[in-house]
Amino acid sequence: MPDGPLIVQSDKSILLEVDHPRAGDARRAIAPFAELERAPEHIHTYRLTNLGLWNARAAGHDAEQVVNTLIEHSRYPVPHALLVDVAETMGRYGRLTLHSHPVHGLVLESTDRAVLAEVLKSKRTSGLVGERVDETTVVVHPSERGNLKQALVKLGWPAEDLAGYVDGEKHPIALRSPTLPVTPGEESHEWSPRPYQQQAVDGFFHGGSGVVVLPCGAGKTIVGAGAMAESKTTTLILVTNTVSARQWRDELVRRTSLTEDEIGEYSGSRKEIRPVTIATYQVLTTKRKGVYSHLELLDARDWGLIVYDEVHLLPAPIFRMTADLQARRRLGLTATLVREDGREDEVFSLIGPKRYDAPWKDIEAQGYIAPADCVEVRLTLPEHERMVYATAEPEDKYRLAACAPGKNRVVERLVADHPDDQVLVIGQYIDQLEDLAAHLDAPLITGATTVRERQRLFGAFRSGEISRLVVSKVANFSIDLPEASVAIQVSGSFGSRQEEAQRLGRVMRPKADGRTAHFYAVVARDTVDQDFAAHRQRFLAEQGYAYRIVDAEDLDQVA
């Protein structure tokens, strides 16, 4: 009888025994196709989903590999019906294909006439397709390419898009030679994409469009630059905020042949359209008199490549806009495909399937991101605060627990335990953060802080001029602070798994001296704060990170 760490069950759940000596190997093996649902101390529960299996298929994993992985790591015989279901589910991807036709333009084709008949009978495809070419082929209106792919995913028959892409407007872009100075006046030094970054670029370009998943701090911008160098076309880059736009611009100037004059910023304060244009999601989704007034940016040039940074955060209107951009190469970059709104299927159908995914622990083992120690510090509320919480309305309970006054003392103690480290204190509620900034005598950055002041404070933090910084959720995304080695989270967006990943990522840039990064979550015991914390930690548990739980009164054990 094999003694594997997995128990695979007929309801598509997979139990992983965390303390098993082969648990790490099993976790890495199932990561491409299974999603973690629950992660208590000893047994983690994963689930097989259609979307997870289709993403694995698109990334180059076949059903035989998935089946063999489950059998190899399972403690008991894997239910035969489940193995059949895995093979049949993965076999659904690509039974329908989109092609360019010399006479009819864009067509949907299937070697399985029954499948084609089934999807054409559905109301979901009504109006998206035209005349039948023959028994296995139907004409597709080019403008409905994205909408049809969305409909087919929801019908359970995801199409493989082989219709190709417009070339776009040519523009010379190259990665800088490893032997050339990266910026004027800088000494020459060796630089080239890391092996996994090049693999990600290759995987994306081979697939044509899709998503690259890399840990925070692993250099997703370099993957974007590599894709641009492969494409050698005008490029539109969509980012989360203006600070991120400036960081993209700086990195592209450092790492590629592009000059500042070739890179435009299209944001709230600037409206520059250049061969490479970096725009914020916010400006694209701004409405005036009920109309998206900046949509002309999507047609301002004959873009050959569109890059979506932090693709897991795409606002709903961007999905609708992207449905019209299916003839252009699209690259999504993210640390996690988890979306709290459950719209992963829209990323799959409109941006593209997952083309490359590097487990966090693998990148850590190669020395490209810092090892991390995750600690949940549990604070017991005093009796009077516990009573206020117990009698509060449900909608008020999380804020009361998340902003418990006792968290200030815990944070002060944790900061004192790291006198020589660069420390970020991160939270959700502005009044709580203002109070903490005053207690710590530290600067505060919120959404109200001007871009210029944010850049000044981030610069002072990078240089070591200041060693403590209190930040709101504006620092969740695309902020490059490689010197930060300690993050203390006091409150968050309820149970957001992707936010937890982003916040840990703020301290995972590799340290020059090889130090371990520290991530603390300060949580009020026996409240919804603790429940949400358990949910938030699921994604990181899936990546192999374990949270130690420490009582706030026992913090001497942490230092």
The answer to whether the CB of 292 falls within 8 A of the CB of 171 is: no
- What's the CA gap between 474 and 378, in Å, rounded? 25
- What's the CA gap between 213 and 115, in Å, rounded? 31
Residue 274 has pLDDT above 70, yes or no: yes
Q: How many CB atoms lie within 10 A of CB 503?
A: 25
The answer to whether the CB of 484 falls within 8 A of the CB of 506 is: yes
- What's the CA gap between 55 and 61, in Å, rounded? 9
Altogether, the residues listed in the chain come to a count of 559
SS3 385: helix
Average pLDDT, the chain: 86
Would you state the structure tokens that stand for residue 201, as one six-digit string?
């670029």
The answer to whether the CB of 553 falls within 8 A of the CB of 525 is: no
**Site of tokens 């998340």:** 402
Q: How many CB atoms lie within 10 A of CB 520?
A: 27
* For range 73-87, the mean pLDDT: 95
State the pLDDT at residue 463. 85
**What confidence tier does 285 reach under pLDDT thresholds 50, 70, 90?**
confident
Q: Indicate the range of 47-51, 268-272, 430-434 predicted with least confidence.
A: 268-272
Cross-strand partners of 307: 237, 331
- What's the CA gap between 123 and 142, in Å, rounded? 19
Task: Give every CB contact of residue 510 below 8 A, 6+ residues apart in sequence.
Answer: 217, 367, 368, 369, 370, 482
Comparison of pLDDT for 295 and 255, the residue scoring more: 255
Residue 544 has pLDDT above 80, yes or no: no
Helix 528-536 / helix 394-402 crossing angle, nearest 10 deg: 80
Task: Give every CB contact of residue 219 below 8 A, 6+ residues apart in sequence.
Answer: 194, 197, 368
- What's the CA gap between 263 and 286, in Å, rounded? 22
State the pLDDT at residue 13. 94
State the pLDDT at residue 442. 93
Residue 185 has pLDDT above 50, yes or no: no
pLDDT tens for residues 354-378?
A: 888 877 778 888 888 888 888 889 9
Residue 559 has pLDDT above 70, yes or no: no
* For range 176-185, the mean pLDDT: 52
Q: Indicate the range of 64-78, 261-275, 471-485 predicted with least confidence.
A: 471-485
Residue 556 has pLDDT above 60, yes or no: no
pLDDT tens for residues 24-68?
A: 899 889 988 998 777 676 888 889 999 999 989 988 889 999 999
* For range 253-278, the mean pLDDT: 92
The answer to whether the CB of 266 falls within 8 A of the CB of 204 is: no
What predicted TM-score, i.e. pTM, was given to this entire model? Answer: 0.79
The answer to whether the CB of 238 falls within 8 A of the CB of 279 is: yes
Residue 189 has pLDDT above 60, yes or no: no
**DSSP letter, residue 478:** S
Q: Phi first, then psi: what are they for 98, rounded to 5°? A: -100, 130
CB burial of residue 418 (10 Å; 0-12, 13-18, 19+)? middle
Report the candidate in 147, 178, 175 with the shortest Cα–Cα distance to residue 161: 147
The answer to whether the CB of 401 falls within 8 A of the CB of 428 is: no
Q: Indicate the range of 26-30, 34-38, 268-272, 500-504 predicted with least confidence.
A: 500-504
Residue 174 has pLDDT above 80, yes or no: yes
**What confidence tier does 188 reach under pLDDT thresholds 50, 70, 90?**
very low
pLDDT tens for residues 322-339?
A: 877 888 999 999 887 766
Residue 19 has pLDDT above 60, yes or no: yes
pLDDT tens for residues 298-309?
A: 888 899 999 999
Residue 140 has pLDDT above 70, yes or no: yes
Report the candidate in 378, 380, 360, 381 with the shortest Cα–Cα distance to residue 369: 360
The share of the chain scoring above pLDDT 70, in percent, equals 91
Residue 186 has pLDDT above 50, yes or no: no
CB burial of residue 384 (10 Å; 0-12, 13-18, 19+)? exposed
Q: Indicate the range of 82-96, 175-189, 202-216, 221-235 predicted with least confidence.
A: 175-189
The answer to whether the CB of 226 falls within 8 A of the CB of 193 is: yes
